[in-house]
Chains A and B, each alone.
Chain A
Amino acid sequence: MRQIFVRHWLERPGRFFLILLGLTTATAAIVTVLCASFNARNSFAQFDRLASGLPAIDITHNQGARFDPNIIADEPLPFPALATAPMLFRGSIARSETERLRCLLLGVPLADPSDTEEISATVSYWSQSNREKLGAFLGLRSSVSLGREECILSESAARSLNIAEAGEVHILFRRSIRKLVVRHIVPNEIWQSFALEPSIIVDLYTLQKWANLKDQVDRIRIFVGANDEKTMEKRREKLSASLVDDLVANVRTSSFGSASNVFRSAELGLGFATVLAGAMSIYILLNSIRMNLLERRQHFAILRCIGATPTQIFVAILIEIAAIASLASILGLALGIALGRLLQNVLLAMTPADSVAYAVPWSTLIPLAAIVPLFSIVITCVANWEQRNISPLENFQEPNQILAEGLRMRWIGLGIGLWGISLIALIAVRNEIIPFYWAIPAGLLTLIAYLMFLPIGWVPLLFAIAFLNKDGRWFSIDLARYQLTRRAERTSLSAGFLVIALCGAIGLGQALLSNISELRRWYELAFAGDIFLVSRPTQVSDSEDPIRATLLSLDPETVQWLDSIRFFDMEIEGIAVSAIVREFPEASPFPGVLRGITQAEALSELRAGKILLNAILAKRLGKRTRDRILLQYMGQVSEFEVAGTFVDFKNGGMSILTERRAMQSRWVVTGFDLLAIRCSPDKITDVTRSIQSLEAANSIQIIPGNDLRSSIDSSISSVILGITLVVISSFAIGGLGIASTMAMNVTEQTKDFSLLRLIGMSQRQVLICVMAQGLLLGIIGSVFGWIGGVTTAWIIHACSEVILGYTPRFESAWHLPGLSIAGAIFVVIIASLIPAFRAAQVDPKKSLQYEI
C-alpha cells in the first residue's frame, strides 16, 4: 500500500505542491501574524514602559504659557529630588551631509555657567551637581559640560540623519543656520525620560538666546527617586501647594492612548485578514484533497476489489496527508517567522515605538505546528466522508456520472432565517433598542446569511443567461452553466468569496467616502483661513496683544477677520475632552456642521455662555439639547447647558465648542494656540510679511492655510490607501478561491473535455469553455456582490447615527460599483487562465480510459 501511495505522489508533483502550498500558506499566514503581533506588542510594551522613563513630576503653566524657571530656583523643594531640568522646546530642521529631519530642539541646562555672566551659578538647576546628574541621565561623562556649539542627539534622530558622534549637524532655526557637533547619542530608552520625539538637546541658555526667550521655559521636570503612585501623588500635592497660582504640578505619565488604539486597531485588522486567509486556505486545501481523492477513486476501487478495506485505504490517505501537513507545518513556520519580522515593522510604523530584538514565541508556535497536521487530517476526513457510501463498483464509473449536487434547501432556509434575525437586530440597533455594538455581529450575520441563500439568486440568473443564449450561439456558455449548476455548493462558495470582496469594496468604500467627505467638510470649516499662526498662549490681553494690533491695523479689506482659537483640556464625567474656545467673527463660516440648531441660534446661545457638544461625545454621554453637563477644569467643576450638537473630528470627537468672550468670565482665556486669519486673496503675501517681523519676538509660527489643510489631506490619503490595500487583498483572496474552484471543476470535467476533444472540440474552444465558467462565476459574484455592497453601505449609513451620533451625508460614488465589478471580473479572468490552459491540454484519449 505504501508503494502505491508514494508512487502516486511522485508521478503527480503538481498536485503534491498544490496541497503543500495550501497548507504552507495557511500555516505561514497564522505564524506571520502571531510573530508580528508578539514582537510588536513587546516593542510597544517596552516603549510604553520606557516612555514613563524616570519617575518625574512636571511643573507647567496652567494656561500652557512659558514661565520663568527662577520661580523655583531658590526655593527648596518639599521633597528630595535627584535632579531638576527646566526645558524649553522649539521646532527646527536639522541637516546632516545626506539627510534632513524636522525635529524638536530641547534646551536643558548642561553648559558650564561660569563662562557667562548672565547665568547665576548659584541657581540650583545650574549647579554643577545638578548638571552632572542630568548629564549622567543622558549618558554624558560626569564633570564634562555641554559646549555652546555642541549637541546631544536622540538615537532616532541620529539614525534619521545618518550621523555619528563627533559628526556635524546643521540646525535651521529662525532663518539662521547653526553648526553643532554631536557630542553624544542617547539610546531611545533613556531619551524618553526627556522627550518622545526625535530631538536635539542643546544647552538651555543657548536656546533661550537663539529664541530670544530669556528666562523662559516650557516646563520644569523634577526627577524623583520614588516610583510608587502614592508617594508620587503625595509629592505632587506638596509641590503644588508650594507653587504660585499660575503653575501646576503633575506626575509625568505616558499618554499613548491614541497610539495604543491605532496599534490595537491594526492588530484587529490583521486578525481579520488572517481569518480570511485561513478560511481561503481551508477551502483550497479541501478542494485539493477532494481533487486528489476524486482522481484516485479508480485506484481505490481496484484496491477495494482485491480486498482492501475502506479503513485500510482511509488510514493510508490520512498518513500521507499528515506527512504532507507536517512538512508544510515546518515550511510554514520558517516562512511565517521570516515574514513576521516584516509585518512587525509595518505594525510599529503606526506608533512611536521602536522595534526590540526579534523574538519567536515558540511556546505558541510549537503547539500550532502540531495543530496543522491534525487539522489537515480533519479536512481529509471531511473530504473522505463525502465518498463514504460509494461502492467499489460505482467507482468504475466516470466521476461525473455520480449525481450532481442538488441545492441544499435546508441551508437556504437557514440562511433566510438568519437573515431575518440579523435584520431585526439591525433595526433594533437603529432604533436604539439594543446597544450600538450589536451592529457588528448583526452585520456579519447578515453577510453569512446572504451567502447561504445566494443560490436562490444565482440559479435563476444562470437560467436567465441561458434564456439569452437560447439561440445556442454560445455553446461554451451552456456547458459552463451546466457545470456550475451541478456543483451548486462549490459555485456558491467561490462566488461567495467574490461577494465578500465586493461587499467590502462597495460597502466600506462607500462608508469611507461619505465619512471622508464629512471630514473634508469639517476641516474646511474648522480650518477656514488663509494664514494660521501657532503660538504658546500668552498672558497678554486681546487689547494689548501686538499681533492682533498689527493685524487689525491693516485695511479691513486686507484682513477680513481674525479668530483666536484656544484648546483647553477638561473632563466631563471622567472623559477627557478638549474645549475649543473661538471668537466666531461675523464674516467667518461656522467652524463645524451643526445639528438640530441653526447657525444664528448657535451663535446666540454660545454668546450667552452655553456650549455645543460634539455629536460623538453627546452620544457617548447620552446628552441632548437643554441637558446640563458638569465640566471639570483645574480642579473646579462648572455646570453648562447644552445648546446643541456639532460635528467635529478633533480629539476623536471628544470636544466641546464655546465662545471666547463668554468663557472669559469663567476661565482665563488670553492669547491663542491657533490664530486663523482670512485675507483678501491678493493680500496674503503682504499680511504674511507684516507678521514676520513679530515672529521672533513673539515666538509664533506662520503656517499658510493651504499647507495646514493639505497636511490633513495627506493623512486622509494614507487612510484611503490603507483601506484600498485591504480591499485589493480581499479581491486577491477571492481570486484564489475562484482559481481553486476552477481547478476542481476542470479535474471533474477531464473526461468531458477529453470526449469533446475526441469528437472535434478544438483546444481553443476548450479554453473558451473554461473561461466561460470563470466569467459566469464572475458575473454571479459581481451581481450579488453589488447588491450586497449597496446593502452594506446602506446598513452602515443607517447605523451611523447610533454609533457616531450623526449621519454623514451619503456621497453617491457611482464609480465605486463599476470599479469594483471590473476588478472582480479581472480577478476571475486571471484566476481562470491556468485551469483553462490545463483543460485545453487534456488528451482526447483520456476519455477512452474510462472504458472497461
Chain B
Amino acid sequence: MSTIIKATELSKIYSSGSASYQALRGIDLEIERGEFVSIMGPSGCGKSTLLYLLGGIEKATAGHVFFESIDLANLSEANLTELRRRKIGFVFQKGLLLPMLTARENVCVPLRLDRVKHSDCLRRADEALEAVGMSHRSHHRPGEMSGGEAQRVAIARAIVTNPAVVLADEPTGALDSVNSEHIIELFQAVVKNRGQTLVMVTHDHDIAQTANRMIRMRDGAIIETVEISPTERKPAHVKS
C-alpha cells in the first residue's frame, strides 16, 4: 500500500499574547492508503489538533504534512479548500449539518460546491444516503432527526465525493453506545469497503480498537503505535 498521508516533525504551538501552549511536539506519522487508523488519548493530548493538521484545517508551526506527496504548507488557501472539498471527507462529533437543508441537500453540498450537475448531485447523494441507511429520511431536516441519524447523514456527506481520506473527530462522542456501535459498523462497512482511508480520533479505547492501527498520544506526542491484528480487532458491537 502506498502512503497517502505523511507527517514529519510536526509541531503546533498556540500563542495568545505572552502565553503559549504546545499542542503537538514533533509528530512523525505515516498513513497508508486504505488504512483505518485510530488516534487515542486523554483530553487535551492533541489528537484533534493532529487531525486538523492532517486535514489542512490548521497550519503547522513546524514540520510538514504531505498529502499524496504534496506538502500542504506550499498550498494556497484556495488549493487547500479544493483539497478538502475533493480529497478529504470530514465527520465531526455532532455532525455539523446545515440546519436549513434536508438530509439530501446536506449531502449534496460538497458536490454543488464543486459545480457537479444537479441531477448527478441528487443521484450520488441518494446513493450515499442508501449506503448509510438513511434513504427514508432524505427529505427531513437535521432538527427532525436523532443524533445517530444526523451522524449517518454526516458520514454520507463525507463520502459522497469519494474522497481519498475520511477524517473523523470523535464521531461517536455525542452518541449513546448503541448508536456508537452502529456508526462504527457503518464506518467499517462503507468507508473501508470503498477502499478509503479512515483516520478516527477517539478517547474510547474500545472504539479505537476497531481500527487497523491505534496511535496513542499523550501531551502532544505519540507514545505508542499499536498494530491491531484482525483477530485482536474488536468488532464494533463488542465493548469491554
Q: List A residues at the B interface (Cβ < 8 Å).
A: 398, 400-401, 404, 471-473, 475, 482-483, 486, 752, 755-765, 844-845, 847-848, 850-852
Interface string of B10-27 (1 = CB under 8 A from A): 000000000000000000
Interface pair A759/B92, CB less than 8 Å apart: no
Secondary structure dominating the interface of B = helix
Of all chain A residues, the one with the shortest Cβ separation from B79 is A762
Q: In B76-96, which residues have CB < 8 Å from any A CB?
A: 77-78, 81-82, 84-86, 90, 92-94, 96
Interface pair B99/A401, CB less than 8 Å apart: yes
Separation of A483 and B100 alpha carbons in the complex (Å) = 8
Separation of A138 and B173 alpha carbons in the complex (Å) = 95
Q: Which of B57, B93, B100, B101 is the one whose CB lies under 8 Å from A758?
A: B57
- Verify if B164 is at the interface (C-beta below 8 Å from A): no
Separation of A486 and B100 alpha carbons in the complex (Å) = 8
Interface string of B128-165 (1 = CB under 8 A from A): 00000000000000010000000000000100000000
> Known contacts A472-B121, A762-B81; can you find 19 more A-B pairs with CB under 8 A?
A472-B118, A482-B100, A482-B101, A483-B100, A486-B100, A755-B96, A756-B109, A759-B84, A759-B85, A759-B90, A759-B110, A760-B110, A760-B114, A765-B113, A845-B52, A848-B57, A850-B94, A851-B93, A852-B93
Name 10 interchain pairs, CB-CB below 8 A, sorted by A. A400-B99, A482-B101, A752-B98, A755-B96, A759-B109, A760-B81, A760-B110, A760-B113, A761-B113, A762-B81
Interface pair B57/A845, CB less than 8 Å apart: yes
- Verify if B45 is at the interface (C-beta below 8 Å from A): no
Interface pair B57/A844, CB less than 8 Å apart: yes
- Tell me which residues across on chain B come within 8 A of A763, comparing CB atoms: 77-78, 81
A757 with B81, Cβ < 8 A, contacts A401-B143, A845-B58, A851-B93 known: yes
Interface pair A760/B52, CB less than 8 Å apart: no
- Tell me which residues across on chain A come within 8 A of B98, comparing CB atoms: 752, 755-756
- Verify if B29 is at the interface (C-beta below 8 Å from A): no
- Verify if B192 is at the interface (C-beta below 8 Å from A): no
Closest beta carbon of chain B to A210's beta carbon, Å:
83
- Tell me which residues across on chain A come within 8 A of B118, comparing CB atoms: 471-473
Of all chain B residues, the one with the shortest Cβ separation from A400 is B99
- Tell me which residues across on chain B come within 8 A of A761, comparing CB atoms: 81, 85, 113
Interface pair B112/A475, CB less than 8 Å apart: yes
Interface pair A852/B112, CB less than 8 Å apart: no
- Verify if B174 is at the interface (C-beta below 8 Å from A): yes
Separation of A472 and B124 alpha carbons in the complex (Å) = 14
- Tell me which residues across on chain B come within 8 A of A401, comparing CB atoms: 99, 143
Q: Tally inter-chain residue pairs, CB-CB below 8 A.
A: 77
Q: Which of A471, A473, A475, A847 is the one whose CB lies under 8 Å from B96?
A: A847
Q: Give the contact-size bracket for chain B.
A: 20 to 34
When A and B form their complex, which 7 residue pairs have the shortest distance between CB atoms, in order from nearest? A760-B85, A472-B118, A482-B100, A475-B112, A760-B84, A762-B81, A471-B118
Q: Which of B96, B100, B113, B157 is the one whose CB lies under 8 Å from A404?
A: B100
Closest beta carbon of chain B to A535's beta carbon, Å:
78
Of all chain A residues, the one with the shortest Cβ separation from B56 is A844
Separation of A845 and B84 alpha carbons in the complex (Å) = 13
Separation of A763 and B90 alpha carbons in the complex (Å) = 19
Which one of B82, B100, B110 has the greatest number of beta carbons of chain A within 10 Å? B100
Q: Which of B82, B94, B143 is the one whose CB lies under 8 Å from A851?
A: B94
Separation of A401 and B157 alpha carbons in the complex (Å) = 19
- Tell me which residues across on chain A come within 8 A of B84, comparing CB atoms: 758-760
Of all chain B residues, the one with the shortest Cβ separation from A483 is B100
Which one of A398, A475, A756, A763 has the greatest number of beta carbons of chain B within 10 Å? A475
Closest beta carbon of chain B to A384's beta carbon, Å:
24
Interface pair B114/A848, CB less than 8 Å apart: no
Of all chain A residues, the one with the shortest Cβ separation from B116 is A472
Separation of A486 and B109 alpha carbons in the complex (Å) = 19
Q: In B96-112, which residues have CB < 8 Å from any A CB?
A: 96, 98-101, 108-110, 112
- Tell me which residues across on chain B come within 8 A of A845, comparing CB atoms: 52, 57-58
Separation of A764 and B81 alpha carbons in the complex (Å) = 11
Closest beta carbon of chain A to B99's beta carbon, Å:
5
- Tell me which residues across on chain B come within 8 A of A764, comparing CB atoms: 78
Q: In B56-85, which residues have CB < 8 Å from any A CB?
A: 57-58, 77-78, 81-82, 84-85
